Amino acid sequence: MLEIIKQPWPWYAAGPLIGLTVPALLILGNKSFGISSSLRHVCAMCIPAKIPFFQYDWKKEMWNLFFVSGIFFGGVIAVTFLANPNPMQLNPALAKELSVYGITDFSSLVPVDLMRWDKLLTLPGFIMIVGGGFLIGFGTRYAGGCTSGHAIMGLSTLQWPSLVATICFMIGGFAMANWILPFILTL
């Protein structure tokens, strides 16, 4: 059984399991799935200032904080006890393309050549780590939710803004992967 859990699951098994969280949350407690709102709940809990955005009954959303904690601790457990010791399997064409940019070490889930502390002090590293983090935070707030909230919960409840947001996420992802990232890596 443990060997089955350690292997990557195919989309046709993992997708429906993720998708079933939507009806489960709606049926069990009329709750919406999403991760980005958790930061608002933490800020409302910890910031004593009278900022109107944080003035609401965050205790009603405590389940969401437990949910996010479960994601974090589940990740810790997976990395600690269920890690796959085999190297990442990458499409040879992608590995060849990335080698042009000096990315050759695929010994972990994230290419080591990209995500190291010393890379933060370079222009491409600063753009990707700090700039990317800012854009994700800004975009999440501007779009009224993150990709999981819009693409999983919003689409399944037939919300028009979630369809628009998901299309924009996909276009942005394609543009980043095909045009912007190669440009940043050549800086």
80-89: per-residue pLDDT in tens?
Answer: 888 777 777 8
Give the model's pLDDT for residue 5.
76
Exposed e or buried b for every residue in 35-71, given b needs 16+ CB within 10 A?
bbbbebbeebeeeeeeeeebeeebeebeebbebbeee
- State yes or no: pLDDT of 55 exceeds 90: no
Give the model's pLDDT for residue 114.
81
Give the model's pLDDT for residue 161.
92
Reported confidence tier of residue 159, pLDDT bands at 50, 70, 90: very high
Q: What angle do CA 108, 111, 113 make, to 5 degrees?
A: 125
More confident residue, 48 or 158: 158
- Cα separation of 185 and 46, whole Å? 38
Contacts of 108 (CB under 8 A, 6+ apart): 88
Reported confidence tier of residue 179, pLDDT bands at 50, 70, 90: very high
Q: What confidence tens digit (pLDDT) does each residue in 18-36 have?
A: 888 888 888 888 888 778 8
- State yes or no: pLDDT of 134 exceeds 80: yes
Mean pLDDT of 175-183: 92
- State yes or no: pLDDT of 72 exceeds 90: yes
Reported confidence tier of residue 90, pLDDT bands at 50, 70, 90: confident
- State yes or no: pLDDT of 127 exceeds 80: yes
